[in-house]
Homo-oligomer: A and B are copies of this chain.
Amino acid sequence: MGGQDRPRRPTVSDVAATAGVSVKTVSRVINNVPTVRPELVEQVLVAIGELGFRRNDMASSLRSGRRTATIGLIIEDLANPFYSVIAATVAKVARSYDTHLITVSSEEDPRLEQRQFLELCQRRVDGLIIVPAGSDHSYARPEMEMGMRVVFLDRPPSGILADSVVIDNARGARTGVEDLLAAGHSRIGVITDSPSIYTARERLSGVRTALTEAGIPYDDSLIRVGVTRPEEAVRVVADMLDGADPPTAFFTGNNRITVGAVRELCRRGHDAALTGFDDFELSALMPRSLSLIAYDVQELGRTAALRLFDRIGGDGSWPSETVIGTRLVRRGVELLKT
């Protein structure tokens, strides 16, 4: 059956022999060098078609020393919609530079992140975009000194100087809490991910700023950190509501937590106000009103990718930190009915 007998792939010399020219002429033709006699071009193209020749890109870039036309993207988890939009956007920019994208998941594990980084360096990708899990990226320095281009996405690097593109986490969270305060809430339940994660830290700091400036006394029982999955958020919300003097509003630190909070509030039919960080795909159909700190995820990915290709293209300017702004949006299915 087909594909069983593997007839060795034809090489440039096979093509050259078939076309009756030299390998160099074949090379010229497949690289579109214009100074080849049209009839020879024709002969070569015919031979290529006959043999089913397909230039070996590895050999090509090995010899020419040019770029491999590949970049790498290290993220937490491709199945997470936030990261898949990032990946899609980066791939799109990459394509406009005739470059392919290898995406790998670090699963929020710093050691795995480092291994993936080094593996991708071994493949000689032209550059890397990293959403860092770890808090020390000095392992990247030797590679960067040898020319590897690296851009950090969503979280800044530490222990090394490099480009980064992040969201204005603190300001966004502050705005969200200020909005709740303006609506008259003073007991606000705050639920965020682990403070070991940069974005969670920043957002919590924004929350604190808003509370402090409003002169709200600090109540530890209203702040829960280290909440990762929606189910945990469900439990934490239930817990807070069942406590003495429950909050009248919640601020949730990311979309997974927001979804958990929506779930529990809806299950109870509870009308506590809800404001969360991150917009998400079906937020407009949520069965209750909520406010979200939204930002342009595609812009985040696009900006990082363009920065990377600038670097690959030879831009040697001082590393930059780009901050993407946020805005407060109202969501929920009720809004559709107006």
Contact, CB under 8 Å: B101 / A287: no
Please, which residues of chain B bring their CB within 8 A of the CB of A284? 263
Contact, CB under 8 Å: A1 / B316: yes
What class of interface size applies to chain A in its complex with B?
Answer: 35 or more
Please, which residues of chain B bring their CB within 8 A of the CB of A119? 100
* Distance of A71 Cα from B8 Cα, bound (Å): 20
Is A56 on the interface with B (CB-CB < 8 A)?
yes
Is A34 on the interface with B (CB-CB < 8 A)?
no
* Distance of A11 Cα from B149 Cα, bound (Å): 20
* Distance of A114 Cα from B170 Cα, bound (Å): 46
Contact, CB under 8 Å: A333 / B287: yes
Is A215 on the interface with B (CB-CB < 8 A)?
no
Is A37 on the interface with B (CB-CB < 8 A)?
no
Min C-beta distance of A88 to chain B, whole Å: 4
* Chain A residues within CB distance 8 Å of chain B: 1-4, 6-7, 9, 52, 54-59, 61-62, 68, 70, 77-79, 81, 84-85, 87-89, 91-92, 95, 100-105, 118-124, 141-149, 161, 259, 262-263, 266-267, 269, 280-282, 284-287, 316, 318, 333, 336-337
